[in-house]
Structure 1
């Protein structure tokens, strides 16, 4: 759910309050190591816009065009200042022309509450229903097959802002990320908790505090019931145990801006979406490696990340206005050999897509969220522009 600005500051280990010049210098330093990384050039273009250097911003975007595929600067993520510039629009049109148009995805359901501001979603195969969490209203609802919305966890659950959700269906347990650290007030006294509920009754089962976390974001459940959570603000990843303190799987600072998580079917590898790509942790040794991708492709800025039949499904909302991608893994799971678009930015319902849920009927995408309107003061900006929360059904195919 991170904006481009925050994601980049996290990725570069630069405090949010740092001057733009400092961020630009950090990106340029990384480019000395990875001069053909189109993601870094894309981020550099954004910050050059912020610095007011249109010429440098366009030069960086030309490098993106030269080196990468899958990029399309969104107006609301840092490119407003040059949006009407003819040279920028020409470059953007060139980038867009190379993108496939895959906009078939029927609406599965909507929530008739524009102030809900959802971020996480989980599917319950036992009841054929969906569980959706609210950032703004600090609650979780259940959406039945007929689209009826009922309360699952409300005021009595004492939740903070609800982000990632994951269901352990065999054990009938829903895990939810509850954090106050997405607002300025919350950062003064952070609360980061993984809350477990009985999926059938809504009964509170466990509140696992993660005192070392800066801002928890997403949660994933592996086969067998192991639970992993990401801390986007520090880059750490934790395993939540049934009792006792959380176990650190990935220490802070190794992969900045950690977000979506996915576990291999054999529970040997944990995949982590972060600001500039996808990393993999060997769960036996704890060693982290960067997952390689084909030349020109980008898997950066993935919000929701999921395992499906030995492959990865990712939701992007930073390097593009929004798309869903399928990443084919090598036999040993250490490399991405193909990146395929399942849903492109052309779909009219997309408004900062965040996460989704893999089901036997397809991938259900939380397509319209309005998350970017929820500000650091904990209020909703421009409420008249917030979309109705919308979930799309995206077909899964090889």
Structure 2
């Protein structure tokens, strides 16, 4: 392959640490007139344009953006591919919503042509919204994952996905068995895990829809392939928490069900965690597990408010999730808008730099991929965005009043959405242009 080298000049901002651990000022690097140099899909340099320009060969192509901000690609740690067609479904809380809308919608993925069509729409939506990595639930059908990975591989995206395992408490047309879920998951792992920038996640939907036999086999898969991911839901809704107690009376609580079946670990991501207690947060942190904070969905389904300060106290890894279709937007900017309100309702603050962390480096740490994505450090994958300060008339006007990068960032997260994303790059390739 010929050496491909390009440079991108604009304001540049990336998260370099968790503000909760190092303080806000030490948590980010900002270059008002910055330069990002990309070689063969990786970042080779980032810094002040005045310092870096002198080090570059005379013939390098430099793309200069006016009134724009370059950031790392955004990372969505919880989203459902098969729910794309039912996003914004009216009137239910979690358990009724699953039965009324979700399960019928997911049943369509028995058809490969349908799975292909939705995978294409879904990936285009992610990239339009600046999401370059996502942790994705498929449906119970293996073709949902095949279609998604085929589409992601064509664009050389870093994506993680898995086939849902669900052998009880769901319609007959949508259940597998403990054995079939193991065999089908194993075949998908062998086909896709570690291929290009793709990774596989063992995906029991949540404790109520898996028998002990199925959860045992999910744990067995994690033991057989040590660098696999595991994704599921936990403590989203109070009725769900009660239901888990009834189904698993021998366990201490919801998290203990997953712990018992050896599903906690450094690549395990639990969505929601709205109703976790201190002990459960401590245990998640101790095992290196992570939580996906899904504020848009938690508001929409009336589930509750995630306690981020409690997670921070335990040094628990937290990423951000849109949770489409319980969440109502593919945009992580809009998701951060909601996250700010979640904190306000609890008498806490969410600084724009903590928000940036959650959507980039925090998500990368939750996925144990911080050496590859989530920052603009040299050596990492060239997954980055160009955000347009003039994306809408109101945004352009408001940003003219901003006095510093903190205010600019907060306004982007409050007023910004898919229109704000001018370009999305993955592995140095332009994969979305507004």
TM-score, with structure 1 as normaliser: 0.27
- For CA contacts below 8 A with separation 6 or more, give which structure has more relative contact order: 2
TM-score, with structure 2 as normaliser: 0.25
Larger radius of gyration: 2
Q: Which has the higher strand share?
A: 1
